Amino acid sequence: QLQLQESGPGLVKPSETLSLTCTVSGGSISITNYYWGWIRQPPGKGLKWIGSIYYSGDTYYNPSIKSRVTISVDTSKNQFSLKLSSVTAADTAVYYCARHIGLNIVVLPAALGWFDPWGQGTLVTVSS
């Protein structure tokens, strides 16, 4: 059974870079037709897609946050990572990683679908 687990610091200072890693177990991250995504949820609020990456390194980002986000993949460790720079209190959220279903990945941009399964999430607080 595929499982995802987020890890990283729970507290980040304003203006610094948030770094999280998602470890995939029970299956390979290098499988065709699946991307790997990050989604966040501020306390008491809704869900926001941050970006998704293919095992080849192809990435897509939410335009609203694209200038501060970098998602990378390490197939040797079956992991993918999120870096968010210049954080503020508004970046305080539970961050989830999830498998992002590929519907048609031969087109550009790739057509992706729903998220399943999800990691349990990790709360990152931005505070001095």
Residue numbers at the binding site for another protein (CB under 8 A) = 46-49, 52, 60-63, 96, 98, 101, 103, 109-121
If the CB atoms of residues 10 and 63 are measured against another protein, the closer one turns out to be: 63
Min. distance of Cβ 14 from another protein in angstroms? 26
- 3-class SS of residue 90: helix
If the CB atoms of residues 114 and 127 are measured against another protein, the closer one turns out to be: 114
If the CB atoms of residues 1 and 76 are measured against another protein, the closer one turns out to be: 1
Min. distance of Cβ 42 from another protein in angstroms? 12
Place of tokens 């349990």: 120
Min. distance of Cβ 88 from another protein in angstroms? 22
- Round to whole Å and give the CA distance between 35 and 66: 17
Secondary structure, 3-state, 26-72: CCCCCCCCEEEEEEEECCCCCCEEEEEECCCCCEEECCCCHHHEEEE
